[in-house]
Each structure stands twice: as C-alpha cells, then as structure tokens.
Amino acid sequence: MTTARPTVCPARLVPAPLGRTGTPNSAAVATTAAASLPSRGNTTPIGSIAYMLASRENRCRVYGSNRTPPLTARRSAAASSLASRAESESGMLIPPPWKRSAYRSHNRTMNHRSGRHFLQIPGPTNVPDRVLRAMAAPTIDHRGPEFARLAREVLGGVRALAGTVRPVAVFPSSGTGAWEAALVNTLSPGDKILAFETGHFAVLWAAMAAQLGLDVDLVPGDWRSGAGPERVFEKLSADAAHAIKAVTVVHNETSTGTVSRIPEIRGAMDAAAHPALLIVDAISSLGSVDYRHDEWGVDVTVWCSQKGMMLPPGLGLNAVSAKALSASRDARLPRSYWAWRPLLGAADTGLFPYTPPTNLLYGLRESLAMFGEEGLPAVFARHERHAEATRRAVRAWGLDIVCRNPAEFSSTLTAVQLPGGHDADLVREIVLDRFNASLGAGLGRLAGRVFRIGHLGDLGDLELAGTLCGVEMGLALAGVPAEQAGVRAALDYLQSASR
C-alpha cells in the first residue's frame, strides 16, 4: 500500500507508516515517533505524543503511581520484575515511587487503619454513602418498564449539569471511552484537528486522535497554562481552507490544575469565522464548576462519572450540539459501540443499545438528587471556597502552585510543585502510610516533582482541613522545607468564608 496519507506527526512532517489496509498502523506510528525521542524528557508536543503512544502499554504505570502498593507488596519480587520488564520494554519509564523513595524509616505492618480513608486524588472522588446505598439495590431487567423510567429520568437530569437542553449520550465507559466517542462520531480519517498541550491528559487525548488516524496539530504548552485563545485565533485565521475540522481543549487539566477559558476560546473561533467543531474535555470540571455547553457554543462536551458527579467510575458522557450531530452523519471514522445515535435515542425510549450499567444509574439518580438539594450555585461556590483555602495553604507553606495564572486556577484540584531535590511521591507515600490519605501523583513530565490535592466532589470544610493537615505533616516528615503555616491560613479563610 503506497497511497499517500496524512501524517500523524504534522509538526515534524514524518509520514506515519501504514498498516496493510492503508490506515495508519498505530504500532508503527509509535515506533517512528518514539525512535527519535530518547526519553520522556523530550518535552516537545510531538515528543509528548510519541511518549504516550510508545508507552501506551505502560499507561497504567503512569496512573499507577496514584496507587502506591502496600509496603509489604512494594518489595515483592513480582512487583519489581513487572516494573523492570515494563521499563526495559519502553526505555522511557518513570521509576515507580517505591523504587525512587528513600523513605524507609518505619516498618510497621498495618493491616488496619482506624478512621475513614481520605481519597483526595482528583478523581475518582469519595462516593457518598447514600449513593453507595442507592447502588446496592437489585439489578432489574434493562428492557423492562421500570428501567425505562429510571433511564429517562437520569438522562433528562444529567443535562442540567452540562448546561444543555439536548440529549446526552451516556456510555458504560471511563472518560477515555467518552473521548473516543467524541472523536469517532464527528471526524473522518485524515481530518486535521487542533489540540493544545496543556498537560498530561491533553497529550493523551492527542495521542488517541493520532492513533485513530487524525492529523493532530498539537500546540506546545508549558503545562502551567491553559490553551490560549489568541493561539486559537492565530491558528484558525491562518487556516483559510478550513482544513482544521475540530479544536480539542481540556477544560480543567487534571494533571496541572489549570483551566482553559472555554468562552474565550469560543470567542476566538467566532472571531476567526472558522467552522471547526469545538470539542471539550470537562472530565474534572463538570458537576463542580459552572459549565455551559449550549451557552458557550461547545459542540461536544466529554465527561465521566468518577469526578464531580460523586459516582464510581463507569459512565462516560457526551453532550452533543446540533452541529456535532449533523457532522456525525458525514463522519467516517469507524464506530460501532461508540455510535451516538442509539444512545441519544435512549433519552426518549429509555432503552440502551446494549446492557447498561443499571446500578450506576441508580447511583446517578441519587447524585442528581444531591445536586438538587444543595443547588448548583452552592456546589460551585463550595468548590471555589475549597480551592481558595487550598491555595492559601500552599502559599503559606511557601510552595509553588503549578498553574501560573490566577485566572486559570482550577476549582477542583491544586497541583503543588516541590523545591528541586525533593520527591513529591515521598510526601504522598508518607501521607498515605501515616495519615491514611491519598493524594494525586505528578503525571507524565511532572512525575516526582508534583503532587495534587483533589478538592472536588462530595467534600466538607473539615474533610478539606483534615487533608491539609495530613499534607502539612507529610511535608515536614519528608523533610521538605515548608512553613508549618498552611493549615492555619486555610482555616482562617474557611472560617471567614463561613460567616
């Protein structure tokens, strides 16, 4: 097969090797791109894509640093052989935290930790007890009338969270599935898309697009800022032929705690009078911050259940504009499981095209009731308050917030950068081991240098305060030079904000 095909590496104009059918061969794409990249230290956008592609097998290990194995398991032969096998396979992996860390000062064997675990990663978040109880109901016939009523109720209710009046497609999937659904329903092989390297998730999504055979223009970023509306304007204004079919943006970059300003990006697209679709990942913002799919002119909003929606993982969602739905009629990327139409139809019929995650939908009904009781404006204000309290703590510790621009601060998580020479995974390890709280790991190029405090979902002031206490003590125990003043600053703020 010699047909010329668009490259997945537009920035470098490296032709993507083709599979036998003429579609880009993802394994070969990975190899080509990765061959020129000595390590994950390559921080060009294309380097980032190649890293993600080449290490796809090992993505679980990048995430895996969120889930530090128990101390007893850490030194097990199985764990180290898995780690070294994966390392030798990719040659560009991050050493696992339990290998890097020098923290060995206590050898307690703890089979029981009293008190509740604090799950303060930026998703999955704490699932409220009443949601868990709601999900513990018997599974019913998904083709029967009771299920149809449930499905119609929750598929109707979920629209308000996204700020849309149109049907939403709900897949039994993680967020990654919802990403794929957004792309395969709207685009055709070789279509050009404009993406922004705001952090780890933006790069992963771009890598997925490249694997699907799209021509990705990934605008470089410093992982400390959101997508710049001015860059959107420049790129689209320069595209007189309208080759760019979609702009993809991660609204709240979960790896950095940085927000991209979607209304301004929409404004830039309109100012350039460009017809590209606007596809937004609102995975770690939706349900926690004010998000308006219809009003902001977003064409596809992607999100999932395990963050602001206070549910376990398992639901991937797409809100879809009329323009996106019409694009889906001509889009030629292969799709079957991810096809929108039968799922959008479920809003009326209450029938899914395949077995739905019945018990998660019970949970969704309960979480929607909770949103109704608290009221969305109060939910958003609570997230802003907790974010501000956390940032005050970080500043009082004398540490850096990864996000540079206050206008782009995330309300759902704060990524904290440690001074050079200090290991963020050691802090996380101590906080988990001593204080039974999980913090988010630094992802991708931020691994080991950054930890993330999730403050989204079902969270009260005292839970946030407890989390910050754990961090403050963990910093001290890890020997990080930080003022012991963060908790005080956060408490002062929370107290004044509750007057």
- Considering only residues 116-145, where is the footprint of ligand PLP by CB under 6 A? 123
**Closer residue to ligand PLP (CB): 6 or 45:** 45
Direct distance between the N- and C-terminal alpha carbons of the chain, in angstroms, rounded to an integer: 70
Which residue from 36, 66, 174, 359 is in contact with ligand PLP, where contact means CB under 6 A? 174
Q: Does 281 bind ligand PLP (CB under 6 A)?
A: yes
Torsion, Cα of 280, 33, 15, 60 (10° steps): -50
Complex with ligand PLP: residue 101 or 285, whichever CB lies closer: 285
> Which residue of 55, 185, 254, 256 would you call a contact of ligand PLP, by CB under 6 A?
254
436 scored as a contact of ligand PLP (CB under 6 A): no
Nearer to ligand PLP, 284 or 411 (CB): 284
Can you read off the two tokens belonging to residue 137? 């109901």
Q: Which of 208, 246, 250, 482 binds ligand PLP (CB under 6 A)?
A: 250
Residue of 190, 182, 240, 184 lying closest to 216 (CA atoms): 190
Using the structure block, give the residue that is written with the tokens 């704060």.
414
183/335 Cα distance (integer angstroms)? 10
Query: Considering the rule CB under 6 A, would residue 357 count as an interface residue with ligand PLP?
Result: no
Selection from 242, 229, 234, 192 nearest residue 212 by Cα: 192
Q: Name which position in 52, 71, 92, 304 contacts ligand PLP (CB under 6 A).
A: 304
Stretch that binds ligand PLP, among 140-148, 162-170, 212-220, 280-288 (CB under 6 A): 280-288
Contact between residue 356 and residue 151 where contact means Cβ atoms under 8 Å apart: yes
Nearer to ligand PLP, 283 or 487 (CB): 283
Tell me the sheet residues that pair with 62.
none
Q: What CA–CA distance (Å, rounded) separates 319 from 325?
A: 10
Q: CB of residue 413 vs ligand PLP: minimum separation in angstroms?
A: 9
**What's the min distance (Å) between Cβ of 175 and ligand PLP?**
3
Nearer to ligand PLP, 32 or 305 (CB): 305
> Which CB, 36 or 174, lies closer to ligand PLP?
174
Which residue number, 281 or 433, has a Cβ lying nearer to ligand PLP? Answer: 281
The 175-204 contact track toward ligand PLP, x by CB under 6 A, reads xx------------------------x---
Q: How far is the CB of 121 from ligand PLP (least distance, A)?
A: 9
Figure out which of the listed residues 284, 301, 321, 467 binds ligand PLP, where binding follows CB under 6 A: 284
97: contact with ligand PLP by CB under 6 A = no
Closest residue to ligand PLP in the complex (CB): 175
Among the listed ranges 40-48, 161-169, 170-178, 230-238, the one in contact with ligand PLP (CB under 6 A) is 170-178
Give φ, ψ of 450 to 5 degrees: -130, 145
CA distance 436 to 368: 29
Q: Per CB under 6 A, which region of 48-56, 160-168, 169-177, 227-235 contacts ligand PLP? A: 169-177
The verdict on 470 binding ligand PLP (CB under 6 A) reads no
Asked whether position 48 contacts ligand PLP by CB under 6 A, the answer is no
Min. distance of Cβ 304 from ligand PLP in angstroms?
5
Taking the complex as a whole, how short is the minimal distance between the CB of residue 324 and ligand PLP, in angstroms?
Answer: 18
464 within 8 A of 390, measured Cβ to Cβ = yes
Stretch that binds ligand PLP, among 29-37, 101-109, 130-138, 278-286 (CB under 6 A): 278-286
Q: How many CA atoms lie within 13 A of 141 on its CB side?
A: 4
The reply to whether 447 sits near ligand PLP by the rule CB under 6 A is no
Looking at beta carbons only, is 283 or 346 nearer to ligand PLP? 283
Which residue lies nearer to ligand PLP by CB, 212 or 430?
212
Q: Name the residues that contact ligand PLP, by CB under 6 A.
A: 123, 174-176, 201, 250, 254, 281, 283-284, 304, 313
